Amino acid sequence: MCGPQVRFCESCGGATPRGYSPSKEIPMFRTLEVSLELVRSLRDVVRRLGSVDRDLASQIRRAASSVTLNLAEGNGRSGRDRHYCFRVAKGSVLEVQAGLRLAVAWGYLDEVHLEPSLALTGDLLGMLTGLLR
């Protein structure tokens, strides 16, 4: 017998978690992939930054990891829990952006090297805004 957290899905013939929405599932996977692209774009940046400011490099690394981890967790949740995870992910994207801007402000890195990463953070913010509607 199904509990209150499960409903019958007519399209696949099986049970799905309450709050599941196929229209939000596809963008979610794309958002998760973009978050992984962000991490890949930051690998060399964080390595270079670590040679001059290990703390800032660690903060950016942890924030970027938090984006992906919270997106994955939120994808497995529903209702307010889902939105909470997406809000935390959005805050972590903003933290990555701020960390990259700090690296430029301190003169550790040139902004031109950060353009791909900053563009990905902008993309993620737009996607997360859509998921939070």
pLDDT tens per residue, the chain (133 residues)? 333 343 333 443 334 445 545 445 555 689 999 999 999 999 999 999 999 999 999 999 999 999 999 999 998 898 899 999 999 999 999 999 999 999 999 999 999 999 999 999 999 999 999 989 8
Structure tokens at 78: 């529903």
Which domains can be identified in the chain, with CATH numbers?
20-131 (1.20.1440.60)
Contact between 116 and 26 (Cβ < 8 Å): no
Contact between 96 and 121 (Cβ < 8 Å): yes
Structure tokens at 131: 């998921």
Nearby residues of 55 by Cβ (< 8 Å), 6 or more positions away:
none
Mean pLDDT taken over the chain: 85
Q: Give the model confidence (pLDDT) of 59-93 as tens digits.
A: 999 999 999 999 999 988 988 999 999 999 999 99
What does pTM read for this prediction?
Answer: 0.79
| Nearest C-alpha neighbor of 117 from the set 63, 51, 52 | 63
